[in-house]
Amino acid sequence: MNSPITLNTNTEQRWTTLCSQTDLVPYSGVAALHNEEQIALFYLPGEADEVFALSNHDPVSKANVIARGLVGDIDGQLMVASPLYKQHYDLRSGKCLDAEDLALKSWAVRLREGVVEVLG
Amino acid sequence: MTRSTNTSRLIVIGNGMVGHHFIQQLVESGQAERWEITVFCEESRLAYDRVHLSAYFSGSSADDLAMATPDLYREWGINVRPGDKAISIDREQQQVTAANGEQLSYDKLILATGSYPFVPPVPGHERKNCLVYRTLDDLDQIRAAAEGGSKGVVVGGGLLGLEAAKALRDLGLETHVVEFAPRLMAVQLDEDGGALLRSKISELGVQVHTSKATDLIDDGEQHLHRMNFADGETLETDLILFSAGIRPQDELARQSGLEIGERGGIVVNSQCQTSDENIFAIGECALWNGRIFGLVAPGYSMAKVAAAQLSGGDESFLGADMSTRLKLLGVDVGSIGDAQGHTPGALSYRYSDDVAQVYRRIVVSADRKKLLGAVLVGDNSLYDTLLQYALNGIDLPAQPESLILPQSDNVAPMLGPDALPDTATICSCLNVSKGQICGAIDAGALSVGDVKDGTKAASGCGGCAALLKSVVDNELEKRGVEVNTDLCEHFAHTREALYHIVRVEGIRSFKELLASHGKGRGCEICKPTVGSILASCWNELITEETHVGLQDTNDTFMANMQKNGTYSVVPRVPGGEITPDKLIVLGQVAKKYSLYTKITGGQRIDLFGAQLHELPEIWRELVDAGFETGHAYGKSLRTVKSCVGSTWCRYGVQDSASMAIQLEDRYKGLRSPHKIKFAVSGCTRECAEAQSKDIGIIATENGWNLYVCGNGGMKPRHADLFATDLDDATLVRYIDRVLMFYVKTADRLQRTSVWMDNMEGGLDYLRDVVINDSLGLADELEQQMSHVVGTYQCEWKSTIEDPEKLKRFRTFVNDDSSDPQIVMIQERSQPRPA
C-alpha cells in the first residue's frame, strides 16, 4: 500500500502535536489548525489505522467543512462524504472517488500516548 | 443606463419555437449573461407550440400551448418586445429599427423570422373568410369564420393541410381537402401510401379532391364562396384555408442586402452565418445548401449551432433528417428518409393489407444491406425500429421484408433498445442520443421523468416518448434498478424492512443493526436513515455518542449548514405565534452575533451566518428566553403554519392558531423519512395554505377537514381531502395514525405525496388503514406516537447542559480562533457571504 501513513517515520523530529486524543469524536471528524492550514481529523476506533488527516478545505464548495462530513466506506474503501455536495474522498489518500481531478491534501498522522500527531 | 463593459448587444428577431429555443440554449449554457439581449416578437404572444396547433380546437388553451412567458424572459434578464416588429436593419451602423422608430444597436443579430403560408395567387383569394393556418391569431379568425358557416375547404393536401383539415372538422364543419397534386402528402408518401391515406381520411368524413387546380373564387349560391376548378368542376364553401406550403420570411434580410436564395430564404453557411458575419439566420427563414427545413427539429439544431457560435464553440449544422411520424386526423402516417426510392439502384419491399388498412414500404440499398427509407400508413408501430435502422446504418436482416411482414413465429427480431448503438438518436427534436440517456441514468436518473428533466428528451414533439420509455426501462433494468431496492451497499433491505427489524428485534444502535443485518462500515446514505429510524422508534437524543456519527452535518450540529460552512439557526415558533419579548430576544441575539435575519415561509425567523463555535452561545441565550429547537435541520416536523382564526378574524369559524400550536407541540421532534409540514386554516378562505402541506387542516362550522399528502417545492402537489368535520380528538387520532404509518412504510427521503401515490390503492387504501383500521394497526400506531410525544426533549437544551457534547462545537479543537476564510460583506444593512 502506498498511503502516506506507511511512509518511513524515522524523521521523528518532524511529527508535531495537534491535539489530544480526547478532542476526537469517534466515527466522526473534528478540525484543527496546523501552520495556517486547516486539517480535518477523523477517528475510526477499531480500524487498522484509527486516525486520518485530510485538508478541511472542500474544493467544490470552497468552504472549510470536510471535518463535518459523514465517514463510512464504499466498496470497502474508507471515505468521508463532503457535507455540502456529497463528493466522497478516500480517507487515506484524499483522492476523490467520484471525480479523478479532485483530491484533498492528506497528512501522515498517528496516535501516541493519547496525543494526535501529524507529519510535516 | 448601466451596463458592464464586457457585455455585448444581441438582438433576436423572431420568437417562434426556434427563436425561443435559441434563447433557451444560450441561457442554459450560462452564456446569456454575457449579452444584453433584446427579442423582437411580432405576435402579441411569445413562443408557443405550433406543432400542436390544432389542439387549440380540441381543448387546449393558448396558455397550454405557450412555451415562454414574459416573466420567464424577465427572470432570464432578457428584454422581450411582444407585439413589436423590427422594420429594418442597417448593417453598416449595426442597428435595428423598431416599428415605433426606435433604433437599437447590435453586435450580433439573429434572424429567426420563420416562414409565412404560401397563398396561391388565385383570383378571389383575398375574399372574406379566405384564411391561412399558421398562428394563434389565425386560429381565432378561423373559429370566428366557422361560426357563421357549415362547410370549409382546405387548399393543400400536405402535412399542414391535413392538420388544418382536422381543425376544421373539430370546429364541426363539413370538411374538404383540395390538392393540386394527384395524391395526398406528395412529398412524404408514395402513390399507394397516399391512396390508403385518402381512403382512410374519406371514411372519417373528410372529402378529398386531388388533381384539382383552382382557377377562380367567386360568390357561391348556397355558401359564401364558389371555387371554380380548371377541370370545370366547382365546390361551394363558407371558409377557405390556404395551406399550400410555406415560404421563408426573408423580407427584412432582403431589404438589408443579405444574400437571398433564388426562390427565397436567407443564405447561411454551416455555422448558420449569413453573408454578413455578424448576422445569423435559423429555422424556416434560413436556406442551407439550397434547402429550407420546414420542421422544428432542424430549426432546433440550427438554434443550437448559432448559440454555440456566439459562445465561441464550433458546432456546425450539417443538414437534418426529415423523417416524420404523425397522427393525421387519427391516422398514423410515417415517412422515413428516401421514402419514394429515388436513390439509384434502390429496391423496395411493400406490404399492403386492405382488411386492416395498413400499408408499409421499405426502400433498401442495391445490396439489400441498408435501409434507405420507408413509408407507413395506418400503423406507426414499426416507425421507431425502421428509423433507427435508417439513421444509424444498422445492417438489415438477411430477409429485409421480415421487418414489415406481420408478426409470426420466425420473423426477424425487432430492434430492441439494446440493439441501438449509443450514437442512436432517440429524440430528434432536441437531438438526444441513447448515450446521453444512459449518461443521465448513470448520473442518478431513476425514471423517464428524471431523464426528461436531465436531457430534455421527448420535450419537443413528444413522438419519441414510447421509445424513450423502452430505452430508459431497459437501461434501468440492466442496472438492476427495478429489482434492487437495497438501501445501499451496506444493507440489502428496504427502509421499511429495516424499520421493521429495528422495532421487532428492539435494536438500539447502528452498530448492532450493521452487525446483525448489514456489512461494511456504513455510508452517508444508511447512517442517517438508520439514525432516523432509531429516533422514530426509541426517540433517544440524536446527540448521544452512539448516534452522533450517524447524523448528517445539519443534524449533528442541529443547525443548517450554508454554502460557506456557516450555519443558520431557526428556533421553534409554534403556529407562528410569538410574543414581543421573544421577538426582541431574536433581534438582540442576531445583533450580538452579526447574523443575517430572514422571515421563513413557515412563519418563523431564520438567523444566518453563525460559526460552529458560536452555536452553543447563541442557543444558551435562546433557551434562556424560552425558545426550543425548531428542527429546521432535520427530517422531522418543521412547522405548523396558521392564520389567526376565530379569535381575531371576522370570517374564522374555529380557533386555528390554538389548534396549530397544540399540533406543533405534539409532533415536534418526530423523526420521519422526510420533512413534514402542517398548516391550519380557520375558515375556507384558507389563508394558511393548508392544502399545500403534508398535513393540512381547514376549519368548518362543525369541526375540521383533514387534508393529507400535499407539498410545495420542486413538484408541488395539492393535499387530498381525507376526512371531514372531525372533532379535535378524532383529528389528532387520525394524524397520529397517518404519520406513524408514513414513518413505518415510506422510503428514505420520500415525501408523503409520493408515498401515497406509490401505495397500491392510494388515498382510499390510506383511509381504509387509518379510519377503518383495515390492517388492525391503529392502536399500535397510536401507542408508538404516544411514546414519541411522551419522550420529547429539546435537543439544544440538553446539549448546552452537557459539557462533553459541547466539545464538538469547536471550529478548531486546538485553537479558539474563528475560521479566517469566512468573510462577510454588507448588503441592505445586513451581512452576507462575500
User: Is the pLDDT score of B418 beyond 80?
Assistant: no
Separation in Å, CA B108 to CA B23, B285, B340, B448, B761 = 14, 17, 41, 38, 57
B822 burial (CB, 10 Å; 0-12 / 13-18 / 19+) is: middle
Residue of B nearest to A64 (CA): B565
Residue B320 vs residue B571, higher pLDDT? B571
Total residues belonging to chain A: 120
Separation in Å, CA A118 to CA A22, B39, B258, B398, B724 = 16, 60, 71, 70, 66
Residue of A nearest to B819 (CA): A64
User: CB neighbours of B100 closer than 8 A, spacing ≥ 6?
Assistant: B84
Instruction: Sheet containing B79-82: give its strands across.
Output: B79-82, B35-41, B8-13, B108-111, B279-281
User: Is the pLDDT score of B756 beyond 80?
Assistant: yes
Closest by CA position to B248, among listed B300, B297, B304, B288: B288
**Residue B413's pLDDT band (boundaries 50, 70, 90)?**
very low
Q: CA-CA distance, B675 to B546, in Å (whole number)?
A: 23
Measure in Å the smallest separation between the Cα of B813 and chain A Cα atoms. 5
What does the pLDDT read at residue B410? 40
Start-to-end CA span in chain A (Å): 20
Q: CA-CA distance, B565 to B609, in Å (whole number)?
A: 9
Q: CA-CA distance, B667 to B58, in Å (whole number)?
A: 48
SS3 of residue B124 by DSSP:
coil
**Lowest model confidence (mean pLDDT) among B27-36, B107-116, B570-579:** B27-36
What does the pLDDT read at residue B3? 44
**Residue B388's pLDDT band (boundaries 50, 70, 90)?**
confident
Which whole number is the average pLDDT over B450-458? 81
Q: CA-CA distance, B582 to B588, in Å (whole number)?
A: 10
User: CB neighbours of B240 closer than 8 A, spacing ≥ 6?
Assistant: B127, B129, B130, B131, B152, B153, B154, B155, B217, B225, B227
Q: Give, for B804, the enclosing helix (H) or strand (E).
A: helix B803-806
Q: What is the DSSP letter of B395?
A: P
User: Is beta strand B331-337 parallel, antiparallel or unpaired with respect to B151-155?
Assistant: unpaired
- Whether residues B527 and A70 touch (CB distance < 8 A) is answered with yes
**Residue A4's pLDDT band (boundaries 50, 70, 90)?**
very low
**Residue B407's pLDDT band (boundaries 50, 70, 90)?**
low
Greatest alpha-carbon pair distance for chain A in Å reads: 39
Which whole number is the average pLDDT over B470-484? 74
Which whole number is the average pLDDT over B373-382? 91
Q: What percent of chain B is modeled with pLDDT above 70?
A: 97
Measure in Å the smallest separation between the Cα of B662 and chain A Cα atoms. 34
Separation in Å, CA B294 to CA B24, B273, B287, B307, B470 = 20, 19, 11, 20, 29
Please count the residue pairs, one from chain A and one from chain B, whose beta carbons lie less than 8 angstroms apart. Answer: 95
SS3 of residue B554 by DSSP:
helix
Distance of CA B177 to the CA centre of its chain: 37
- pLDDT tens digits for B585-626? 999 999 999 999 999 999 999 999 999 999 999 999 999 999
Residues of B in contact with A79 (CB under 8 A): 523
Concatenate the DSSP letters of all residues of B714-779 into one string: SS-BPPEEEEEEE-HHHHHHHHHHHHHHHHHHPPTT--HHHHHHHSTTHHHHHHHHHTS-TTS-HH
Measure in Å the smallest separation between the Cα of A119 and chain B Cα atoms. 16
State the ipTM, two decimals: 0.89
- pLDDT tens digits for B674-696? 999 999 999 999 999 999 999 99
Structural Rg of chain B based on CA atoms: 33
**Lowest model confidence (mean pLDDT) among B454-463, B547-556, B778-787:** B454-463
**Lowest model confidence (mean pLDDT) among B278-287, B470-479, B486-495:** B470-479
The answer to whether B552 faces chain A, any CB pair under 8 Å, is yes
Which whole number is the average pLDDT over B57-85? 89
What does the pLDDT read at residue A3? 44
User: Is the pLDDT score of B2 beyond 50?
Assistant: no
Residue of B nearest to A25 (CA): B808
Amino acid at B358: V
The residue of A22, A62, A65, A91 whose CB has the most chain B CBs within 10 angstroms, and thus the best one to mutate to test that interface, is: A65
- Whether residues B520 and A25 touch (CB distance < 8 A) is answered with no
Helices B728-745 + B762-770 axis angle, to 10: 120
Residue of B nearest to A23 (CA): B813
Residues of A in contact with B490 (CB under 8 A): 72
Residues of A in contact with B545 (CB under 8 A): 26
Structural Rg of chain A based on CA atoms: 13
Buried-exposed string B397-417: b where 16+ CB fall within 10 A, e elsewhere:
eeebbbbbeeeeeeeeeebeb
Contact B288, B317 (CB under 8 A): yes
Between B521, B563, B813, which is nearest A72 by CB? Answer: B521
**Residue A6's pLDDT band (boundaries 50, 70, 90)?**
very low
Between B522, B553, B821, which is nearest A69 by CB? Answer: B553
User: Is the pLDDT score of A11 beyond 70?
Assistant: no
User: Is the pLDDT score of B553 beyond 70?
Assistant: yes
User: Is the pLDDT score of A13 beyond 60?
Assistant: no
- Whether residues B548 and A41 touch (CB distance < 8 A) is answered with no
Neighbours of A18 (CB within 10 A): 23
Which whole number is the average pLDDT over A92-111? 92
Q: What percent of chain B is modeled with pLDDT above 90?
A: 67
What does the pLDDT read at residue B735? 97
Mean per-residue pLDDT over chain B, rounded: 90
For cell 355558401, name the residue. B223
Which whole number is the average pLDDT over B759-766? 81
Interface of B with A in 595-634 (CB under 8 A): 612
- pLDDT tens digits for B267-293? 999 999 999 999 999 999 999 999 999
User: Is the pLDDT score of B169 beyond 60?
Assistant: yes
